[in-house]
């Protein structure tokens, strides 16, 4: 019996792409680079700062300027962390329904805690979540199942009692490794080269409301 739902954050629970795109474009401007269109930035947002810097600057962690650019990007993002970020349409209603049925929900993300916690606070969700697990909460991050096990412990659930919802292959991989039922959120930040059908999720959804038919059959 399912008693709780755990969500990835960026691209699953919340539409953070507008603020992350703003941070990248402000960083590009700072370094006298051309800004990028939102449509090009959105699909890579789930993969964090490293993917954004690779997209905008064409460099990786081995580059001597990478860490300086990364810190600038993340500082701009932190200062504007909930300027345009909202829950995906239908998500607030889903969370309310979960709570009304005396079930629990939480967040397991690879976003670092110093960004996750301010964002959850800004969205007024911190007090509602049964767990908030960030990318640096445990020794391993997704696709390792350890963060999901930690989230279950915080939420006082067994993994088999949980659904895990994410928009990236690592989310589905982590959920399956933890022994949870997995849901691929196709409304999230899916890249052109992604083939979600190959992730072997238990369910695929196009809208958060579809989770209710899985959760409350």
- Domain locations in the chain as residue ranges: 4-15+86-215, 17-79
Q: How many Cα atoms are found within 13 Å in the side-chain-facing hemisphere of 141?
A: 12
pLDDT in tens, the chain (217 residues): 999 999 999 999 999 999 999 999 999 999 999 999 999 999 999 899 999 999 999 999 999 999 999 999 999 999 999 999 999 999 999 999 999 999 999 999 999 999 999 999 999 999 999 999 999 999 999 999 999 999 999 999 999 999 999 999 999 999 999 999 999 999 999 999 999 999 999 999 999 999 999 998 7
Is 8 an active-site residue? yes
Q: How far is CA 148 from CA 27, 97, 101, 117, 143, in A?
A: 33, 22, 22, 17, 10
pTM of the model: 0.96
Per the annotation, the verdict on 167 as an active-site residue is no
Nearest to 74 by CA among 37, 129, 39, 115: 115
CATH of domain 4-15+86-215: 3.40.50.1000
């Amino acid at each position: 019996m399912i008693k709780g739902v755990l969500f990835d954050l960026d691209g699953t629970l919340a539409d953070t792409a507008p603020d992350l795109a703003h941070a990248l474009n402000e960083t590009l401007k700072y370094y006298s680079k051309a800004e990028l269109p939102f449509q090009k930035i959105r699909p890579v947002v789930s993969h964090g700062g490293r993917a954004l810097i690779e997209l905008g600057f064409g460099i990786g962690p081995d580059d001597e300027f990478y860490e300086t650019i990364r810190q600038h990007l993340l500082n701009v993002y932190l200062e504007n962390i909930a300027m345009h970020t909202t829950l995906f349409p239908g998500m607030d209603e889903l969370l309310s329904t979960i709570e009304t049925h005396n079930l629990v929900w939480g967040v397991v993300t690879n976003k670092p805690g110093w960004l996750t916690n301010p964002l959850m606070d800004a969205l007024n969700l911190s007090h509602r979540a049964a767990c908030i697990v960030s990318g640096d909460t445990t020794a391993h991050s997704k696709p390792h199942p350890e963060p999901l096990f930690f989230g279950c412990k915080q939420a006082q659930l067994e993994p088999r009692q949980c659904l895990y919802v994410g928009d990236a292959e690592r989310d589905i991989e982590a959920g399956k490794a933890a022994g949870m039922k997995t849901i691929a959120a196709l409304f999230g930040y899916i890249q052109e080269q992604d083939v979600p059908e190959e992730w072997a999720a238990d369910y695929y959804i196009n809208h958060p409301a579809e989770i209710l038919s899985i959760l409350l059959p």
